[in-house]
Amino acid sequence: MDLSVIGIIAIILLIGIVKKNGIILVDFAIAAERDRGMTPEEAIRQACLQRFRPIMMTTAAAMMAGLPLALGRGTGSELKQPLGYAMVGGLALSQLLTLYATPVIYLYLDNLQRSLSRSAVARLPHAEI
């Protein structure tokens, strides 16, 4: 199926939904680290457990809205089908990426930040007393 202007609109929609889901997880994890003193691993795990249902409901609602577009036949369906296919297929893939890749990237960036701050502190000149 060709990628049309309508398909590109669906891709932009997907980017927005995936971004929102990732922000929900990361924001919840940062708040848990700061307010409850959790480790990054505990915080992102709690975020995934507690925000799983809202993320799934948002994705399921958008996927169900895309099914009639993807499966529809009749006049004008050739214009709407790329939108439906991009929504349903993209949301299924993006859901997996959100739930599996976001925690991994969060922990990787947290470890990177800690190692960079440690190396920056090690390079500071020590004051002699």
pTM (2 decimals)? Answer: 0.74
Nearest to 57 by CA among 26, 20, 104: 20
Tell me the pLDDT tens digit for each residue of 5-36: 877 887 888 888 888 888 989 999 999 999 99
What is the C-alpha to C-alpha distance for residues 58 and 80, in angstroms, rounded to an integer? 21
Which pLDDT value is given to residue 128? 54
What is the C-alpha to C-alpha distance for residues 33 and 37, in angstroms, rounded to an integer? 5
**Beta carbons of 105 and 26 less than 8 angstroms apart:** no
Nearest to 95 by CA among 56, 51, 41: 56
Res. 69: pLDDT tops 80: yes
pLDDT grade for 81, boundaries at 50, 70 and 90: confident
Which pLDDT value is given to residue 36? 94
Task: Give me the domains of the chain, ranges plus CATH numbers.
Answer: 5-114 (1.20.1640.10)
Query: Hey, what amino acid is at 7?
Result: G
